[in-house]
Structure 1
Amino acid sequence: MFHSQVVVSMVPSLNKSDEVDNWVYLGEGNLNLVVAYRGDDPNYKGKVLRVIKNCKNEKLSAQDSILFKKQFSEKVIQPLLGKEYVVPMFPVHTSVEFLQKLAFNVEPHRPAFRTDRQIVVNSPTSFLLDDLTQIWPNSTAMTFELKPKWGFKPDSSSIDMSNTIKKRTTCRFCMHSYLRRVPQNNFCPLDLYSIDQVRVRKAVNVLLKENPLKKTLSVSINGKKASLTSEIDQQLFSTFIEYNDDHNTLMQDILERVLLHDPILKILKSLQMNLDEIDVEGIYSLFQRNKDYFKLVMDDINIWMDVVNRYQQRLEMENSSINELDEQKQRIYEYILSMTFKDCSLMINVTPTVEGNNTSKIITLPNGLSFQYDIKVIDTDLKSIDKIPFWFELDQSIVRHAIETKFDKECHQ
C-alpha cells in the first residue's frame, strides 16, 4: 500500500476555488486533462496540473490507484525508456471545491469529442508536472507534440496464415487509416522510425502541412498553438527566431534533424516490437485459453517491476518459450506495456543555442543555425487488460478490410 497522506502532505495543496482562475486549459487525452499555471505563486510557476477523468461506466479511482500512476512512471516506464525521457510527477492535494470550479472553467475550451469524460471532482490527489513548453524559462521555445504511432510490422508465427502476407506488407497505421477513410497523404510512421534522412524528411514534410493528420503533430511557440498558414502565426514564429526565409522549411529542418540525432524513436520501436513479440492474435489466443486461470493483478507495482525484470532477462537470454503458464502471463503483461508505447506522444522542445552551452542535445542545420533540444515521452499511463478482446477485434477488422478491398500499399520497415 502507498502511504498516501505522507506523500501528499509534502507538497502544496490546491483547496480554494479562487485559485482556479490562474490555471488555463492546455489539452487532454482519454484519461487525463492538463491545465497550465499562469499566476505568480512560485510553487506553481512553470508547472502544469494533471487531473484524472472518468466516464459513466468506470468506478472512481481510489487514492492508492492514483498514486500507483506515479510508481508506474518511476519504476516501470523510466527503466524501460531511460530517466531523461520521463517527466517527474509530484502529487498534490486537490479539493472538491477546487476541482468543481476547474471543471466549470475548462468546459468551454474542450473539444467536443472529449466531453464524454469529465474531471473526477472528488479525486483527493492530482499531479504537478513541469510545463514542457517552459523548460528554458528565459529563452524562447518551439514545441513539437508528436504521436509517432506504431513503428514496426509484426512477424509472428501466431498470426493466422490468411493475415500473414498483409500484416507483413502494410503497416497497421496505414491499414487503420484506410479503414477509417482518412486521406493517406503518403504518410507512413515507418518512415519516421527508419533513420533514413530521405524518408524522415518525407514524413515530416507531410505532418507539417495542414491536413487530417494534425492530431499526429502539433506545433506551439512559447506555449501558444501555431497554425502554419496564418499571418498572425508567422508573426508568432518571429518571436522564436529572426529568420527571413521560409518558416515551414526551417521547422522541417529542425524536426528532421532532432529525429535523426536522438535515439528515442529507436528505443520506442524496440520496446514496441519486443514487448509485442507474438502479435495480438497470439495474445488473444493465450488470453482466451487461460483467462479462467489467470490472476492478472494490474495495480500491484511489484508485479510490474517483476515483469520489467523478466522482460530484460528474456532479451539477454534470447529465450522465447511461452509454454509455461507464468510465461504466458508474462507475455500478456508485456503486450499491455507495448500498447502504452504504441500510443505515447513525444514533447520535443527546441531553442536557439547560446554561446558556451555544453549539452550534447544540440543540432546544427545546413544553414549553420544551431538549436538545443529536449525530448520527453508523455501519455504513458497503463492500459487496461480488459481491452485485449477489443484490440483483437479491431486488428481483425483492419486486416480483413485491407484484404477484402485489395488495399495494396507496401510499407517498408
Structure 2
Amino acid sequence: MTPTLITETKPEDWTYISEGGATIVFSYRGPHNVQFSDRVLRLRKVAQGSSDNTLLNTNSEQPDDPMIAFQENIISKLIPSEFLPSLVMVVLDEDWLRSLVILRDGDRPAERRQTDQIDVRRTKGVLATDLIGSMPIAMEIKPKWGFLPTEYHLSPETVALKTGTCRFCMHTSFRMEQGAVGTTYCPLDLFSSDETRVRKALGALWAGWYESNGSLNNLRFFVQGRMTKPDDDHSVQLLAHFFTADGSTDVQNLRQSFTSVLAQALLDSPVLSLLSTLQRTLDVLDVEGLSKLYTQTLPDLPYNGLGSLVPDPSMEEWKDFVKIYHSDYHSWNHTVPSPRHLRHYLMAYLLSATFKDCSIIIWPKSTQVGSFDVTIIDMDIKSMDRLGKWERLDRKIVEHYKSSGSQRRCIDSQRVTQLGCTPMCYCSLASNVAYRYI
C-alpha cells in the first residue's frame, strides 16, 4: 500500500486548531483531496529548544505514532468504533514541518509557544477525522474524573476528603491557590445521568468559558474551524443558530439553551457512562493503594517514585491486559490485591488515566437545532514514569484541600446506586460497607 505523504499538500493548506500537552492539531483547508479533505493532522511536540537534540534517529525507520496502534488494538476493544475517530499514518518531511512552524506558530497561544514546539524531526504523524474544521460548529469538553474512590485503600488522613470531594474539585481548589482561574464545574454532575445535575455541570462549564474569556480548557467552542471566545460576536451569533430556535444571542438565554440542548445530547449518548465505568473499574486501588502494593511487592528495590523501575508495557502486553480485563480482572479481590497482579494494576491505572484525560467532541448531525453526536478523542498511551509524578501531585492536592478548610460535597451517583443508597444517606455510609465493582 502506497504511504500517504504530507508533501502532497502545502503547509499553507493547514490551519491551526488546538493543542494539548503532547500534540498539536491542524485542519486541512486546501483543494479537495481524498486523502486529506475532512482530516486533521496531529503532530507530536517537544520541549522548546530540544527538537534539534532529539534522540530520534532520522537515518533509520521510525515506528508509526503509537496512538494509531493503541486505538486499533486497545481502545477499540473497550469503546465501540462508532464513538472513535479514524486514525491513519502520514509520512512527514522536516523541511515541510519547518515551513509549517514559520507559517502557523504565531496562531498558537503565547504560553504554549514558550513551553514547546512541533517536533520537526518526526518522520510520521497521524491523520484523523476532522470533527472541528469540517463542521460549522463543534464543542470540546474535557470531562475529567467521573467517580469517587472507595475507602479500602485510603489512609485515615485522606479517606474522608477523597470519598467526599472529587479529585477535580480538590485540584481546582489547589490550582486557584496558585493563581489559576476558578470554576464551579464538578465532573460528577456531568457523569450523573441526572438531567438537573447534567444541566448544572454544563451551566458551570459555560460560566467558566464566558468568565475566563475562553481560557479554561474544560469547554471549548469551535466555529467554522476556529476556536471561539465569548467576545467574538459573529461566532456567538452562529452558535446561537444551533442552540436557539430564534437565534437569540442574549447571554442568559444562550446559556440556558446551550445547557438544555447539550444535556439532552449527552443523556442520549452512552459515552459518559462508558467513560465513567472504565475510569472506576480500571482505577480500583486509587494511587494510594497502588503505591502500597508497589512497595509491598518490591520491598528490596530503591524507591524512586511509583513505577520508576518498571518498564513501559509493549503493545503485546497491552493486548493481553485487555483480554484479562474482559475475563478475569473483575473477579479479582480488589480489596486485598495480589502482588502477582502488580503489573496489571499499574497498567490498569495508566489506562484509567487515558480515559480521565480524554476529550469528547460534540458536533451537529445536521442543521436541525438540538441534533448532535458525540466522539471521544485524545486517548494517548500514558507512560510508567508518570506514576511517581501523579502520586506526588495527589498528595499535594489532598494536603492543600485539607488545610484549606473547604467543605464541598460531591455525589457519585453511580457509586450510590451500586451501594443501594440514596444520595441523602451517602455521606454517612460506614467505612466498611462492601462495594462490588462491575
**TM > 0.5:** yes
Q: For 1:285-324, what aligned pairs fall within 5 Å after superposition?
A: 285-290=292-297, 292=301, 296-298=310-312, 300-317=314-331, 319-320=333-334, 324=338
Q: 1:168 aligns with which of 151, 159, 163?
A: 163
Q: For 1:223-262, what aligned pairs fall within 5 Å after superposition?
A: 223-237=225-239, 243-245=246-248, 246-262=253-269
SS at match of 1:15: helix
| TM-score, length-scaled by structure 2 | 0.81
| TM-score, length-scaled by structure 1 | 0.85
Say if 2:15 is the partner of 1:24.
yes
Q: Is the 8 A contact 1:15 1:97 kept in 2?
A: no
The corresponding residue for 2:25 is 34
SS at match of 2:65: helix
Q: Is the 8 A contact 1:156 1:277 kept in 2?
A: no
Q: For 1:52-131, what aligned pairs fall within 5 Å after superposition?
A: 52-55=44-47, 56=50, 59-60=55-56, 65-115=63-113, 116-131=115-130
Residue 59 of structure 1 and its aligned partner are, at CA, apart by 4.0
- Structure 1: gaps spanning 5 or more residues: 1-8, 355-368
The corresponding residue for 2:211 is 211
For residues 310 and 397 of structure 1, the distance between their equivalents in structure 2, rounded to whole angstroms, comes to: 33
For residues 404 and 54 of structure 2, the distance between their equivalents in structure 1, rounded to whole angstroms, comes to: 37
- Specify the code of the residue in structure 2 equivalent to 1:28: E
- Specify the code of the residue in structure 2 equivalent to 1:207: L
Residues 172 and 307 of structure 1: CA distance in aligned 2, closer, same or farther (over 3 Å): same
- Specify the code of the residue in structure 2 equivalent to 1:110: R
Q: Is the 8 A contact 2:17 2:227 kept in 1?
A: no
Q: Is the 8 A contact 1:141 1:222 kept in 2?
A: yes
Q: Is the 8 A contact 2:190 2:197 kept in 1?
A: yes
RMSD: 2.6
For residues 231 and 313 of structure 2, the distance between their equivalents in structure 1, rounded to whole angstroms, comes to: 46
Q: Is the 8 A contact 1:76 1:305 kept in 2?
A: yes
Identity of aligned residues (%): 29
Q: Is the 8 A contact 2:65 2:126 kept in 1?
A: no
The corresponding residue for 2:271 is 264
Say if 2:349 is the partner of 1:335.
yes
SS at match of 1:122: coil
The corresponding residue for 1:359 is none
Deviations 1:251-287 (A, max 9, x none): 2222111111111111111111111000001112333
Residue 290 of structure 1 and its aligned partner are, at CA, apart by 4.5
For residues 184 and 274 of structure 1, the distance between their equivalents in structure 2, rounded to whole angstroms, comes to: 29
- Structure 2: gaps spanning 5 or more residues: 413-438
Deviations 1:282-317 (A, max 9, x none): 112333444649884425211001111112223553
- Specify the code of the residue in structure 2 equivalent to 1:337: L
